A and B are shown apart, each in its own frame.
Chain A
Amino acid sequence: MESTQRTVMEALLVPSGMEDPTDRTDRFELIAAAGPAELADLANAVLETGPKLSIRQEPRPQLLLSQVREPVERRPFNLGEAVATPAEVTLDGARGFAMVPGKAERAALSGAIVDAAVAGDHPVADEATERLSAVGERDREQRRQEWARTRHTAVDFRTMEDQQ
């Protein structure tokens, strides 16, 4: 993932392709990729400590425009929309925002709580960053395995003029 605002030092600290859960944008992506059960576990751990929580944006499904630049004329067009559920909270004064794919209100709210917990250095923050890192590692490994299987079907077509 490229970031226009990240510093050179941060880029050096995070190997290419690895998400850093302490970085807000990376954390957003890791929360979006996490499963609802993982997010619920972490959010429950945060809430068990009795923080002051207020919901700034109720989790409600919304549409994300999927806009694509077609590669011939380089013209953008609307491929369609994707459903995602955003939520925003304040947790002990720290803001948290999350968006998860599909219609997933509980996961979105859990994600926003986790985001705020890490942003506000909540006691559960270390566990959250550790588990979000594991989500990134799991996804990366799945992508590598799928790519390896795809490469395993690379074919060299041969023309048959000589056999005619």
Chain B
Amino acid sequence: MGYVAVTAGEEIIERAEDLFEKQRTSGEDEDIGIDQLDSQLGRVIGQAMSEAGLYAPRLAALAVKQAQGDTVEAAFLLRAYRSTLERFDDPVTADPGEMITTRRVSPAFKDVPGDQLLGPTKDYTQRLLDFDLLSGDPDDPTADWDPDDAGEPERLTNVMDLLRAENLVPDPDPPTDDDPTDTTRESVTHPPDRDAVLQELARGETGAVTALGYSALRGYGQVHPTLAEVRVGDLPVRITHPYTDEPATVCHATVTESEAVVPVFEKRDDPQFAFGYGLTFGRNERKAVGMTILDASIQLDGSDEPAEDAEFVLDTIDGMESFGFIEHLKLPHYVTFQSILDRIRAIRERNGLSSGGRVARAERDDVDSPREPPVAEVSDDD
């Protein structure tokens, strides 16, 4: 991209920034606290962390506050902050089965081992505005609950393991401990490895992941999955302790997980399920399911449907990239536009249109030089 520098009064730019900040502070309401944002707007905080690929609830709350609720802008702030930090070595790979589950439903199996656990959800209820919230009623609706002691959190059986036990999904290749691709340090090359696809989908922009996943369901693709399960819970983040060399938990990250099966009948004598997988930071079931559909679609390696084309999907789902490219159009393009204007004016002059009004058809036919076909102009920074 070729940008041309422009100058403007730095003071004026600071004034505009001050005016932006004033929009947040000009009311008579109390300043909203980071802890309030973190505890009461957890979905927004989770979305910002998910799209940033960075788990840091308080910093995400700060970013959401600074961005005045714009989640992509908040994710941008988090990624910018992330770029200033060193990385601690020796990560310990987590198994999603270790998740401390707060919600698990299986649309595929009614009687799933470990039960259908609705957890905190507004699914299955009507979407009606709750006007009681206007009064800021702080009552705890679970205050009267007296649930039975269920002991320590259980490790729930993964539905995919049930299918594997019946040979309904292929056995995986032997586990590999190779370091997976890190798309934050290496550019994605095509065709990408699946670990790169999963990392990029996990930090994709929620709306884009949802929309592209939806496109496959609307007929622009072959994947219409059944969700084996959707799970929300807390997954340990561990390091290898530098003194003991033992795995040690630093924190638990709230994540949303989704698994899907897709029937495939290519092998008529041994039909099995293909699969898709989704996992992302925060409580974001819509995105996790969209990611699952895209993972399954990309494994088909097609090029006719957008959701099956890994290059198309990965080029369009990153919020920072789409945000940057779309929003950069607002920046000064004076030089490139002047060049376009010059060229159009020259063509008009050559065709006798420079005086403003259109020339008569007969007069135009007398022009010896052939007319150039219309050409779509492209800015040189695009």
A residues within 8 Å of B by Cβ?
A: 1-6, 17, 24-25, 28-29, 32, 60-84, 86, 95, 97, 99-103, 140, 143-144, 146-157, 159
B residues within 8 Å of A by Cβ?
A: 49-50, 52-59, 82, 85-88, 91-97, 100-103, 110, 115-119, 142, 145, 147-154, 158, 160-161, 169, 172-173, 175-178, 180-184, 194-196, 198-199, 202-203, 235, 237, 239, 241-251, 253, 255, 259, 275, 277, 279-281
CB <8 Å contact, A68 and B96: yes
CB <8 Å contact, B180 and A67: yes
CB <8 Å contact, A103 and B58: yes
Taking the nearest CB of chain B, how far is it from the CB of A110, in angstroms?
16
Considering the chains assembled together, what is the distance between the CA atoms of A109 and B112 in angstroms? 46
CB <8 Å contact, B93 and A68: yes
CB <8 Å contact, B147 and A95: no
Closest 9 A/B residue pairs (Cβ):
A101-B251, A80-B53, A152-B147, A65-B91, A83-B56, A77-B195, A82-B55, A151-B150, A153-B118
CB <8 Å contact, B277 and A81: no
Considering the chains assembled together, what is the distance between the CA atoms of A64 and B194 in angstroms? 22
CB <8 Å contact, B175 and A69: yes
A152: B residues at CB distance < 8 A:
145, 147-148
Question: A70-B277, A74-B172, A103-B59 given as contacts; is B88 within 8 A of A64 (CB)?
Answer: yes
Q: Name the prevailing secondary structure of the A interface residues.
A: mixed
Taking the nearest CB of chain B, how far is it from the CB of A146, in angstroms?
7
Considering the chains assembled together, what is the distance between the CA atoms of A3 and B239 in angstroms? 13
Residue in contact with B198 in the complex, picked from A28, A63, A70, CB distance below 8 Å: A70
In chain A, what residue has the closest Cβ to B114? A154
| 18 interchain pairs, CB-CB under 8 A | A28-B241, A32-B250, A63-B54, A74-B173, A75-B194, A75-B198, A78-B195, A80-B54, A81-B53, A82-B56, A82-B250, A82-B253, A83-B82, A97-B241, A146-B100, A148-B148, A152-B145, A155-B118
A83: B residues at CB distance < 8 A:
54-56, 59, 82, 85
Considering the chains assembled together, what is the distance between the CA atoms of A81 and B86 in angstroms? 11
Question: A62-B87, A154-B117 given as contacts; is B160 within 8 A of A71 (CB)?
Answer: yes
CB <8 Å contact, B195 and A75: yes
- Further pairs besides A65-B87, A147-B154: 5, Cβ < 8 Å: A3-B244, A25-B244, A60-B86, A65-B88, A102-B58
